[in-house]
Structure 1
């Protein structure tokens, strides 16, 4: 009996969601990210209360952990796509779902469905903790509610797109360790160093473009991007890597 395309997609998406939510490493990664965020929020808030509260806004302090949080979501994306290769489960997946392009596409969609609410909760928890601890001392909380919401949405979008980009790299490399070395090496070593040597193109890298999704540029920055421009650039990077991953995935053996 033939199955309609929409029903086929729904069934594959359900299967990919079930695989992700039943994978222990996914939950361990998410729990680790949440704990890390609370620890960092506590540390940055404490520093702000000791001396910098008068010069920084609550949003800036609450989002100070983003540079470290991205590492957790990079790991999340890599684990989501590389875990099936570690134990050979990918063969079972492709036997059950022979449409490789559709399978990998729905895996990214399932990952996005899981990542979006989790990323929002984690980011919001850090900002809210900072607000409750510094509401009587920090400046800048006259910020409009819509600005805070846009900032939280931007940060959530950045972490989600970073996760999907990482998942695509993981699908290309198929091994957790090489993927971690490549991505963490880029985000924490190559990209920061390249900003000094290639200042004219630094804003078009995935991490710097994503930075402007949630952190409004200061007036003294040159060639800054708007949040929409940053979103468009990071989304383009993500779609390129996902497309390449799907093409390679369809052509090679599992």
Structure 2
């Protein structure tokens, strides 16, 4: 089967983007995640004001919700992939775009294109809220540090979304994918960190934390942001590759 031309590549990418932006569940997930993040930011900011606010960084408080915020992006990645299996729309997709491996790769690229600005807005909104409320009491931060930290947070949320999409492609069902991923991120991984302290930093979520971890004098830095990014990207690429291999071999 011949490789699609550059014009077809552009058309396929546009088609995948159109499918994502016209899916109501995508926007409901993003809106719900945005609102939840603001509520959490308000709660963490309120706690910061009641405590030793002068010793805390705006970034530490503004990004304290990231552990919960990632759930919305996990759901986003799963919905983006599994929605096509509801009602058998995937058969139409594969009839129109017979290059299976390329189609799934383009799907992930379209998802990343949508996720990056959403992650910037959602993660940035928490930091902005905290800054507006605590700008007179919290520790000042440099603009370069803020940009690097928000870039890391955006990268982590994007990689988490793509990894979740790959898992969704492997399972092809929304509920099992949600149970496995949410169970891992919120139950299994925290437990494994206690039982496997020597390798915990190489888990995708723990390594991803170092991508956006705000600088702090009381924390031990095990991985640099670049190392955390590399490990998180490796996990994501492995799962995407496995998903493509199975996607090409299985029936729709």
Q: Same fold (TM over 0.5)?
A: yes
Counterpart-to-counterpart distance in 1, 2:55 and 2:167: 39
SS of residue in 2 equivalent to 1:54: helix
Counterpart-to-counterpart distance in 2, 1:126 and 1:167: 25
Task: Render the CA deviation track for 1:85-132: whole Å, top value 9, x for unaligned.
Answer: 012100110011111001000000000000000100111111011001
Give the conservation status (yes or no) of the 8 Å contact 1:217–1:225. no
Give the conservation status (yes or no) of the 8 Å contact 1:100–1:249. yes
Task: Render the CA deviation track for 1:13-42: whole Å, top value 9, x for unaligned.
Answer: 010000000000001000001100111111
Counterpart-to-counterpart distance in 1, 2:130 and 2:181: 29
Q: In structure 2, do the counterparts of structure 1 residues 220 and 39 end up closer, same or farther at CA, with 3 Å as the change threshold?
A: closer
Match for residue 149 of structure 2 among 148, 151, 159: 151
Residue in structure 2 matched with residue 33 of structure 1 by the alignment: 33
Give the conservation status (yes or no) of the 8 Å contact 1:216–1:226. no
SS of residue in 2 equivalent to 1:87: helix
1:231-250 superposed matches below 5 A: 231-250=229-248
Q: Offset of 1:55 from its aligned partner? A: 2.8
Point out 4+ residue stretches in structure 1 off by more than 4 angstroms: 216-223
Q: Offset of 1:54 from its aligned partner? A: 2.5
1:1-254 superposed matches below 5 A: 5-138=5-138, 140-141=139-140, 143-216=141-214, 218=216, 224-254=222-252
Q: Offset of 1:50 from its aligned partner? A: 1.3
SS of residue in 2 equivalent to 1:98: coil
Unaligned runs of 5+ in 1: none
Task: Render the CA deviation track for 1:47-83: whole Å, top value 9, x for unaligned.
Answer: 1111231231111000000000000000000000000
**TM-score under structure 2 normalisation?**
0.96
**19-28 or 4-13, which moves further after superposition?**
4-13
- Report the aligned-residue RMSD: 1.5
Q: In structure 2, do the counterparts of structure 1 residues 153 and 102 end up closer, same or farther at CA, with 3 Å as the change threshold?
A: same
Residue-pair matches, total: 251
Q: Offset of 1:3 from its aligned partner? A: 9.2
Counterpart-to-counterpart distance in 2, 1:127 and 1:223: 22
**TM-score under structure 1 normalisation?**
0.96
